[in-house]
Structure 1
Amino acid sequence: MRNWVASLSRLLLAVMGMVFTLFVLWGCGEVAQRPTSAAPNVSELPFPFLIPGLDRQRTVRLYLPPNYEHETQSYPVIYMHDGQNVFDNATAYADEWGVDESLNTLAKTSGRKFIVVAIDNGGDFRMNELSPWTNKRFGEAQGKAYMQLIVDVVKPYIDNNYRTKADVKNTAIMGSSMGGLITHYAVHNYPEVFGKAGIFSPSYWYSQDVFSDTKLHRSKDSLRLYVLYGSDEGDGMIADADKMQRLIKGQGHPRENMQFVTVPGGQHNEQLWGGSFTDAIEWLFEIH
């Protein structure tokens, strides 16, 4: 009898352990993944792209406008970072932006349509790849190689295989946090490629070189610059954004081509960025 009770106790403990393990794994998303939320007009390009000089590959996700296959016109293109978070809850780190739903709605209400090219981040390499400046804590800068991927590899592929308006006026780049930092760098260092920028909650804190680089590479007057952050993102975010605004204004950038927006109560998350996406696109592309 005593042996039977001991065996039953061991069995119960084992079952409880399995249940606990399953619960933990489920919470980590390893058993029950979130269902996909991407719209049907979102796809993953059939092969990854190699980052020049880094021997790393990146997945690229593509949004095509509604009814693209049955139309003949060409479209402006928006390049975005952290592609996992742009369209789909199943791949997002925390939450998605909902860019596909936002643009599908905008197409219905305004008739304006866009192509979006979203480049996945590199996980452990994200901080390095999304900055062109070295950081003592996070290590070497690999942002220049990442921008080569976009400018020299991905953009030519997109322009050659899809109906794009490839000129600078119709090419935008957008990102948040570290993606905001590399976006800022992109429009100041590739003015012949990108004519519009959506810079959300930029990580200007990562390197003070962003300010000296902005002084060195004054933007073209025609650049449309939309910088957004939340009031609850911390004093550092507000101070850095204010500093950048003063710098760009001091350079004489036309006020009608720059917009610094503070969202009351906004925090550093996809709710802020996704919720502000349509407003940014409407301002950048002058949709009234």
Structure 2
Amino acid sequence: MNLFKALFFSILIGISTNNHAQVTFIATSIPANTPEDDNLYIAGDFTAWNPGSPEFMMQKNAEGNWNITLPERPQGTVIKYKFTRGSWTTVEKGPSGEEIPDRSFTFGNGETVNVTIHQWADGGSGGGSTAAANVQVMDNNFFMPQLNRSRRIWIYLPPGYETTTVQYPVLYMHDGQNLFDVETAFSGEWEVDETLNSLAEDGVTVPIVVGIDNGGAYRIAEYTPWTNPQYGGGDGDAYARFIVETLKPYIDQNFRTLPSREYTGIMGSSLGGLISHYTAIKYQEVFSKAGIFSPSYWFSNEVWNFASENEKRENMRLYQLCGTNEGAGVTENMLRMSDSLISKGFLASEINNKIVQGGQHNEALWRTNFREAFLWLFVEGSASTEIKSPTKPLICSPNPAKDFFRIDNLDTSNADILIISDTAGREVLRKESNLNETVNIRHLKSGTYIIRLFTKTGIHEGKLVRID
């Protein structure tokens, strides 16, 4: 019996061991300008993206290569990570100094990973602030009574602010640590200060920019008005009220602003795009402009109820941006929101939907499109205010149709998805196979529908009238 127990437990231990895996990362090549006294770190979702956690400092092996072995994890566990020299100022970059996506590893995919680090964000110089001289931290602990916590607030003052009596528009932006300074940025900065200073040199009137740091562990909660079963959230309404009821009055009282809605905008990316959409639409009497970059409309279906319950009350300018490589549903949701807004009275000319082919969910996408978004939102008559449709025409036949329709002007055999939405943006049919066949619409109510076909070469859009 004792022998049987020993065998049984050895099998259990074997099963447990076989279901877990370890990994060792070895930096076999690092930039030649890496300072000799600096240490290397691995930072990822398993470190809460701390760029310099002592637990995850790498060590040199016998060959002089930096390496680290991560604790065992269940096979199939996926981690995201990057390498740093202890801060986001010194995060790794691509061969040409460009932003690179997060690295990814699946446990069970081999025990050793050899890594090449091409460049450092600071060029190996040791880092330092990149914020322009007209950027300052307004307050390291600005109190947020609606949330009972404090936050660092940045402020960008236009060139010449100190020597004139001019009043300025104001743009409120989220994720403040990523806007101006690579030293505080999570994964590269937006270069808001450099971009606006350059425009000011060209004679463009630029705004005061108020950057609100995200709250780290509070970021998801503060940027989401509704909850998600997996990620939580739900403090977004209080965060929006903080901006409207506390921060904006303070800025208007202490700086030379143009306080009316015509001169006030809000902008953010990802969850920051979601809360920018929510705040601008809810407080149309406060904001007339919103930059909505890579919006996380996926977070909660309540966003569609919110959109359907809020009519247009004021003229607005809404700049929506996403990339085609941001993940499933991002492009579709952005266009669906555009439909929803139009169904509530907003004009198509008030909404600019930009889709960047190959664009990824990162600071590089947002930084390179900030200039155009700002000009479209704030500068009337700018060459960048022309709205270019992100879609190509699609012809349905017959149209009107009763039972079936087909697409006449395209070869649909290589298309990915066909989505039919009503004029309020609600998806009523999705087809992901046999797209070269006719489409059955017998179950749809009579009315007008928006047909979108997503292909590898772009998005094609048309309208179809369904009749009884």
User: Does the pair score TM above 0.5?
Assistant: yes
Q: How has the CA–CA distance of structure 1 residues 140 and 167 changed in structure 2, closer, same or farther, with 3 Å as cutoff?
A: same
**Which residue of 2 is the match for residue 284 of structure 1?**
377
Structure 1 residues 56-75: aligned runs within 5 Å: 56-75=149-168
- Matching residue of 1:80: 173
Give the structure 2 partner of residue 22 of structure 1.
39
Unaligned 5+ segments in structure 1 are 1-18
Give 1:127's aligned residue: 220
2:184 equivalent in structure 1:
91
1:149 maps to 2:236: no
Which structure carries more helix by proportion? Answer: 1
- 4+ residue segments displaced more than 6 Å: 30-33
Q: Is the 8 A contact 1:50 1:149 kept in 2?
A: no
The reply to whether residue 136 of structure 1 matches residue 229 of structure 2 is yes
Letter in 2 for 1:29: S
State whether residues 221 and 257 of structure 1, in contact with CA within 8 Å, keep that contact through their aligned partners in structure 2. no
Deviation per CA, 1:154-199, whole angstroms, max 9, x where unpaired?
Answer: 1111100110000001000000000000000001111111110000
Other structure's SS at 1:46 match: strand
Q: Distance in 1 between matches of 2:247 and 2:224?
A: 18
Q: 1:110 to 1:266 in 2, by over 3 A?
A: farther
**What is aligned with 1:212?**
305
Separation in structure 2 between the aligned mates of residue 162 and residue 245 of structure 1, nearest angstrom: 34
Shift of 1:20: 11
- 1:47 CA drift (Å): 4.5
- For the pair shown, the structure with the greater C-alpha radius of gyration is 2
Contact 2:284 2:314 in 1 (8 A): no
Cα deviation, residue 31, structure 1? 11
Residue of structure 1 equivalent to 2:346: 253
Residues 97-121 of structure 1 show CA distances to partners (whole Å, capped at 9, x for unaligned) of 0000000011111331210001000
Give the Cα separation in 1 of the matches to 2:302 and 2:128: 41
Summarize the Cα distance change of 1:21–1:110 in structure 2 as closer, same or farther, 3 Å threshold.
Answer: closer
User: d(CA) in 1 for partners of 2:294 and 2:310?
Assistant: 21
- Report the more deviating stretch, 104-113 or 118-127: 104-113
CA-to-partner distance for each residue in 1:121-152, whole Å, 9 max, x for gaps? 00011001101111111224111111122111
- CA offset at residue 251 of structure 1? 2.5
Q: Does 1:227 align with 2:285?
A: no
Q: Are 2:142 and 1:49 equivalent residues in the alignment?
A: yes
SS in 2 for 1:48: strand
Q: 1:200 pairs with 287, 293, 303, which one?
A: 293
Question: Match of 1:237?
Answer: 330
Structure 1 residues 287 and 63, CA, compared in 2 at 3 Å: closer, same or farther?
farther
What count of residue pairs does the alignment treat as equivalent? 270
SS at match of 2:329: helix
Q: State TM-score, norm by structure 1.
A: 0.89
Q: Structure 1 residues 45, 282: closer, same or farther in 2, change over 3 A?
A: same
- Supply the distance in 2 between the matched residues of 1:31 and 1:112 (Cα, whole angstroms): 30
Q: Which moved more, 1:20-29 or 1:123-132?
A: 20-29
Counterpart CA distance in 1 for 2:340 and 2:171 is 26
| CA 1:152–1:203: 2 relative to 1, 3 Å | same
Q: What is the DSSP-based 3-state SS (H/G/I as helix, E as strand, rest coil) of the residue aligned with 1:149?
A: helix
Larger strand share, 1 or 2: 2
Cα distance in 2 between the residues matched to 1:274 and 1:124: 24
Identity of aligned residues (%): 44
